[in-house]
């Protein structure tokens, strides 16, 4: 196994030190819910629109999943028709969110796509980086049918710590219940809620084409921001890009597991860390993209701590400050956001204070091991 594909388990010598921090991510992703309010509502708030999607933990406490095994990923976007006849037929409306990242699409139904349309979806999303599809029926599908849809794009990831709908651990839930006021204590210690990351990059084969769909969302607030990590790499000088070539970094899931245990929830699978290149190549587009994030990247292999911290901070700041490489997706009912985790970073925003419910589901197909080509 090459060093770029190496996975370090908890039992192995060389399991990661704790340089770095999962920061804001661990603080607002794990919290308890008032099931009575979610199921029945109050005088002020309606009950959850999709109660079968409410997170559960009770039946998972004693469930332990084995380590993930390597698998051969099929990149469906690689040979897709770049004119997108099956994805974007005549009459489809496509509006770019910015000139560098993101699009909104209406006039098609994702659930009705043929396999050729799904192949084109993978390529279109790789090119646009993130696409918001409006007026979708995805949330109304039986959960198993939604999961079958996601399986087309890769093996479905089961998150090691998050709540999931009863019986469907492959669904990762982003849920903040009605009347949840935990943001108040969150902002006692932080000035903002930004937590840039790519999902579960500590896995040996992290996610590729990823699906996030709205169940209940605030009327305003709770948007998700995305950054184009391919454009961020392109912006660097040739000499700087050359310096990054061949460098690898360790991505750790240990801190996320510790945070879950400290919150009284569970860890479904023993935490791992993986070594990935700082720059990865997308298999469908051939683009190179930065592949670091402050939530899971711990240090650069072969660098001393101060050297690693210095370079990683520059790359994190570059991603965070390059607002001309960002877009902001506003959530609306019946919205499905599809993005490519290999070439983007994202952050949720905690900016609503009226106690509204924010309930979103994620289906997370895994992709290939990150590699950097010449």
| Six-digit token string for 330 | 């506003």
pLDDT at 4: 39
DSSP-derived secondary structure for 311-343: HHHHHHHHHHH-GGGEEEEPP-TT-EEEEETTS
What is d(CA 87, CA 113) in angstroms, rounded to the nearest whole number? 7
Count the neighbouring beta carbons within 10 Å of the beta carbon of residue 260: 22
- pTM for the structure as a whole: 0.91
Strand partners, 346: 197, 226
Question: Which of 12-21, 117-126, 196-205, 321-330 is least confident?
Answer: 12-21
> Are the beta carbons of 175 and 359 closer than 8 angstroms?
yes
Q: pLDDT tens digits for 216-233?
A: 999 999 999 999 999 999
Q: pLDDT tens digits for 178-211?
A: 877 777 777 888 899 899 999 999 999 999 999 9
- Tokens 């009605």 belong to which residue? 178
What is d(CA 94, CA 103) in angstroms, rounded to the nearest whole number? 7
Whole-number percent of the chain with pLDDT over 70? 90
CATH code matching the domain that covers 3-363, chosen among 3.40.630.30, 3.60.130.10, 2.40.50.140, 3.40.50.720 = 3.60.130.10
131: closest CA among 102, 100, 89, 94? 102
């Amino acid at each position: 196994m090459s060093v770029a594909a190496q996975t370090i388990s908890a039992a192995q010598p060389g399991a990661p030190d704790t340089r770095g921090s999962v920061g804001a991510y661990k603080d607002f992703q794990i919290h308890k819910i008032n099931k009575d309010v979610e199921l029945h509502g109050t005088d002020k708030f309606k009950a959850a629109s999709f109660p079968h999607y409410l997170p559960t933990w009770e039946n998972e406490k004693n469930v332990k999943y084995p380590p993930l095994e390597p698998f051969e990923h099929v990149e469906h976007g690689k040979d897709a028709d770049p004119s997108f006849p099956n994805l974007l037929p005549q009459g489809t409306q496509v509006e770019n969110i910015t000139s560098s990242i993101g699009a909104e699409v209406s006039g098609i139904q994702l659930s009705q796509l043929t396999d050729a349309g799904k192949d084109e979806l993978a390529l279109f999303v790789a090119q646009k980086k993130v696409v918001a599809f409006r007026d979708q029926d995805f949330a109304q599908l039986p959960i198993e049918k939604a999961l079958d849809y996601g399986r087309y794009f890769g093996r479905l990831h089961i998150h090691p710590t998050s709540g999931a709908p009863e019986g469907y651990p492959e669904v990762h839930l982003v849920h903040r219940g009605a009347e949840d006021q935990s943001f108040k204590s969150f902002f006692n210690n932080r000035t903002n809620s930004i937590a840039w990351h790519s999902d579960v990059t500590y896995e040996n084969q992290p996610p590729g084409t990823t699906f996030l769909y709205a169940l209940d969302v605030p009327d305003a607030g709770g948007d998700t921001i995305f950054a184009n990590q391919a454009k961020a790499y392109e912006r660097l000088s040739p000499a700087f890009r050359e310096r990054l070539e061949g460098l690898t970094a360790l991505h750790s899931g240990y801190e996320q597991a510790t945070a879950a245990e400290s919150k009284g929830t569970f860890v479904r699978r023993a935490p791992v860390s993986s070594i990935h290149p700082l720059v990865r190549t997308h298999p469908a587009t051939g683009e190179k993209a930065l592949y670091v994030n402050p939530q899971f990247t711990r240090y650069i292999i072969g660098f001393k701590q101060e050297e690693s911290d210095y370079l990683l901070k520059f790359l994190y700041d570059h991603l965070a400050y390059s607002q001309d490489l960002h877009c902001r997706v506003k959530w609306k009912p019946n919205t499905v956001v599809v993005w490519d985790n290999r070439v983007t970073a994202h952050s949720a925003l905690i900016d609503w204070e009226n106690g509204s419910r924010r309930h979103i589901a994620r289906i997370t197909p895994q992709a290939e091991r990150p590699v950097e080509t010449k």
